[in-house]
Structure 1
């Protein structure tokens, strides 16, 4: 067949193929155009935002201090004669802890007491002689002054001897023993520590911007890494009169009962201060979406479509979060199913979604946007 005839015979076939291609393209385009309009509404769980009582907290790190604390030292240079305690022992107030050698002081006390007795006898005889007018009144005055000086000397000797007996100034728990019998101690030598830890103080800093929220008597709770899972309760006993000019924080002192002696001086405690209740907009934490620096919730409009509402959040606690700005009382927001939403998308309420426990499973998706 000549080439010209082959070309003419293939033209009708090419036309048919082109027409079919165009029709197929138009059919796909029509479906693409109508696809979004026919997309089903997203099934979500919603909640109406309302004002609720909200008592938020202030968290800080504090250090435990004993109610009373002292380092026991000697007042004089002397040799340790006896030690009456063991490390870690509980002692009563006034209990004798260390006895220093005081032989010289005891001998001097005996001599002073003898002189005082002799002076007392001389004064008694002088009084009788004055009544009989056998001696002058001035001589009796001299004897009385001698007796008073002897009594004062006895008191001085007893004080010197008492310095050789070191006693507990208050009831408490002793630390590690630092001396043994025969040790030579000097003024300032540490013998042991004594702490009253039946009640302890915990001092912790609070920023000055929260000063108005502080008050004596507020409830405190504390936890320590030394006792995992255990919570200690206390109250605010003192708020410092000064604010640190460097940190702009005020030191708050909490008073914690410590009957079992579990809290020890120097221990680090995570303190939580319960602030007074107030009215606030509170939403489930799962409803809050964080994308980069933007924090928002999905707000439902009157036509059951959603929009982004940028919010500022405050305190978070127990799966709930305070919304400071961005929402109003009565707004309806999406709680569960936020990860599949886009602005303007229609939604429908899923009645079975609210009681389902795996609501937290949507939280990672919501956070990721």
Structure 2
């Protein structure tokens, strides 16, 4: 019996607590509807910050990674075998075309050349005497004899050329102007035609080879501008152009190869360096707003536009997204005033009080990256405050935004 009374008391207390909570909630809701005790005749407003939708130049870009390669690159190897008696290879040194890089011992070849030249001189004298006798109609020289002398002289000349070539092959020269790599042999070493003495790279310009997906094949062409960056030069951008587009798409990776050429007058870029590339595909005019103006509810993006002091909810279609700005493809027009701050408290059709209105170009989160002078001149338009770029790929970026509860 005692336990039964306790249960009854507990149930009564729970009922009282539930009733009290219901009365409290009803009071809170009435206070909210009347503006916290204010006169219900005054409409509720929300203080917000807004921004004006702007027309800008939208630049579609595609990113890639690649590796640098020299404009010309060879392994320096001798054309003969022998012992190195001279070695003029200093790592990192620039040499001109035809510069002597190494010499092999050449005593035998030099003697062979002297012997061949002496024989040629004797054949020249013999041919000259035969021609003189032939002109004087001397019976001692026949036409057949003269032809034989001429043939012997030609053989001697060929021997000289052969001996001279073998002698010249004992000297290793630079085939073009470039920068020498680390030497791989020492003076006095015996080498043959397969021994690599060093590397020679023409670094006046470097080529960057990279791959792109087949989806952008028709948008890549020779002469297209390329901006390349490297972790080794964080504050520097190397600008070049596309010089070659492969005619085949790899069937496994569904990508094709592209080569871009970048000036390298100061020889800053070596061969084999990893580079990040940014290619401009196309540009067009579009409407942009700050990213914070976009909200998402139920997977559908929307913005609030201030019209006659009230918030008008507009479903929108988004496009490119970059540096705190987002493109609005459909749903608003240039010059529309969209809510950027206080959007969580705004309701469709409710009154708003605008605290401050800014344009996307003045938002601290929406500064576009600085462009080279030539690129900026090419992309500026009278109504555009600056280029909005997309480096996430060749296709439109997916819609993102804050969710509303």
Q: Same fold (TM over 0.5)?
A: yes
- Corresponding residue to 1:80 among 78, 81, 84: 84
Return the alpha-carbon distance in structure 2 between the equivalents of residues 167 and 42 of structure 1. Answer: 81
Could you report, residue by residue, the CA deviation over 1:226-248 in whole angstroms, capped at 9, with x for unpaired residues?
11211111122222222222222
In the other structure, the counterpart of 1:41 is: 45
CA RMSD of aligned residues (A): 3.1
User: Hey, what does 2:10 align to over in structure 1?
Assistant: none
How far did residue 258 of structure 1 move?
0.7
Shift in Å at residue 263 of structure 1? 0.7
Cα deviation, residue 306, structure 1: 4.3
Structure 1 stretch 204-213 or stretch 156-165: which is displaced more?
204-213
**2:302 aligned partner:** 297
**Structure 1 stretch 282-291 or stretch 181-190: which is displaced more?**
282-291
Indicate if the aligned counterparts of 2:70 and 2:201 stay in contact, CA closer than 8 A.
yes
Does residue 327 (structure 1) correspond to residue 331 (structure 2)? The answer is yes
**How many residues are aligned here?**
340
Which has the larger displacement, 240-249 or 187-196? Answer: 240-249
Q: Specify which of 282, 288, 306 is matched with residue 282 of structure 1.
A: 288
Q: Partner of 1:141: helix, strand, or coil?
A: helix
Q: Distance in 2 between matches of 1:190 and 1:258?
A: 26
Query: Does 1:209 pair with 2:215?
Result: yes
| Kept in 2: contact 1:308–1:343 (CA 8 A) | no
2 CA distance for matches of 1:274 and 1:358? 25
Cα shift at 1:50: 5.2
From the superposition, tell whether residues 339 and 83 of structure 1 become closer, same or farther in structure 2 (CA, over 3 Å).
same
The separation in 2 between residues aligned to 1:290 and 1:167, in whole angstroms, is: 69
Between 1:350-359 and 1:201-210, the stretch displaced more is 350-359
The one of 129, 132, 142 equivalent to 2:133 is 129
Deviations 1:88-134 (A, max 9, x none): 11100000101011211111111111111111111101101111222
Unaligned runs of 5+ in 1: 1-21, 361-365
Structure 2 Cα separation of the partners of residues 102 and 140 of structure 1: 36
User: What's 2:94 paired with?
Assistant: 90
Please give the alpha-carbon distance, in whole angstroms, between the structure 2 residues aligned to 1:290 and 1:25. Answer: 33
- Once residues 353 and 263 of structure 1 are traced to their aligned partners in structure 2, the CA distance between those partners, rounded to angstroms, is 47
1:311, CA displacement in angstroms? 3.5
Contact 2:52 2:357 in 1 (8 A): no
> SS of 2:358's equivalent?
coil
Cα 1:77–1:289 change in 2 (3 A) is: farther
d(CA) in 2 for partners of 1:296, 1:338 = 17
CA contact (8 A) 2:95 2:178 kept: yes
Whole-Å Cα distance in 1 between the matches of residues 257 and 185 of structure 2? 37
Q: Cα gap change, 1:143/1:36 in structure 2, threshold over 3 Å: closer, same or farther?
A: farther
Mapped pair 1:194 → 2:191: no
Which deviates more, 218-227 or 88-97?
Answer: 218-227
